[in-house]
Homo-oligomer: A and B are copies of this chain.
């Protein structure tokens, strides 16, 4: 029995050959890497978006469903330091939905694809009796040998995260409670983060091209879980300073939502921000803002093999990965 996704991925990885002509990296990171043309490598990633798991038709407008489905894969390419180029869309569409809904889903995909110069080149389509499911495959490119993996973090490396944490989770709660229909600016920002997340591709390319990041992952399952993935892959632990975590707009959050903002930031998921480590000698080169996107220095790699959160009172507590896990839910 697989108790967690990591166990399942480990089992898969143990059963696949590592060496093959043109293969740089297979199972076990945000995306696979194979040899590409003109001195570049190709980044390959497939990400599913499933009705009832990743979206709900009664909550998510169809354009957002399409946008989010593509954003997931773009974010994984960003998390390797790659530039997305092409996409395949496999759509198993419920016979219950109208074709107008399908067209709006694709409108969301095409609008985001156009913004990132990504061309949809194929896929598959089927009509199914049950829930709608989309699998979005993105092919990106990265300079040969420049892809950044989860596994490169070392003791003493400094930890950074872009943007804000917990904003998408707050947006989801506002959607559910229909608070989002107000004209509140803070609510609108949270809803936008949830419905139309922006993959951080430019920052990923910057980190890879300058060889700044020793390890890189995107925050999709939840900060605690993705930090755990990075630390497990690197064989290290991490110390996070709670006061440095980018919890957005705290007063607004407390007004809009009764849940603990720290909890949403740590475990909420779907932020699609980049979480990365930088060797101490390069830490001075990390910008505090990249093209308007804040970059926060939030902690450092320790030797403990655990995640530790240093509270506002200076006391350390163990941080457990409590983000999303398909095999555990």
List the interface of chain A (C-beta within 8 A of B): 1-2, 5, 8-9, 11-12, 15-17, 20, 22-23, 25-27, 31-32, 34-38, 42, 44-48, 50, 52-53, 85-86, 88, 90, 92, 99, 103, 106, 110, 117, 119-131, 133, 135, 137, 139, 326-327, 329
How often does this chain occur in the complex, in copies? 2
Given contacts A1-B99, A26-B120, A119-B26, contact A50 B88 (CB under 8 A): no
A137–B122 Cα gap in the complex (Å)? 11
A98's closest neighbor in chain B, by CB? B1
A45–B106 Cα gap in the complex (Å)? 19
In the complex, the answer to whether B86 meets A32 with C-beta atoms within 8 Å is: yes
A122 CB contacts on chain B under 8 angstroms: 26-27, 31-32, 44-46
In the complex, the answer to whether A50 meets B85 with C-beta atoms within 8 Å is: no
In the complex, the answer to whether B106 meets A15 with C-beta atoms within 8 Å is: yes
Q: Measured between C-beta atoms, what is the minimum distance from A140 to chain B in Å?
A: 12
In the complex, the answer to whether A44 meets B121 with C-beta atoms within 8 Å is: yes
Q: Measured between C-beta atoms, what is the minimum distance from A28 to chain B in Å?
A: 8
In the complex, the answer to whether A128 meets B128 with C-beta atoms within 8 Å is: no
A46–B122 Cα gap in the complex (Å)? 8
A44 CB contacts on chain B under 8 angstroms: 86, 88, 121-122, 137, 139
A48 CB contacts on chain B under 8 angstroms: 90, 92, 124, 126, 135
In the complex, the answer to whether B2 meets A99 with C-beta atoms within 8 Å is: yes
Task: Give the residue of B26, B86, B103 whose beta carbon is less than 8 angstroms from that of A121.
Answer: B26
Q: Measured between C-beta atoms, what is the minimum distance from A65 to chain B in Å?
A: 16
Task: Give the residue of B16, B50, B92 whose beta carbon is less than 8 angstroms from that of A119.
Answer: B16
A120's closest neighbor in chain B, by CB? B16
Task: Give the residue of B86, B133, B329 whose beta carbon is less than 8 angstroms from that of A34.
Answer: B86
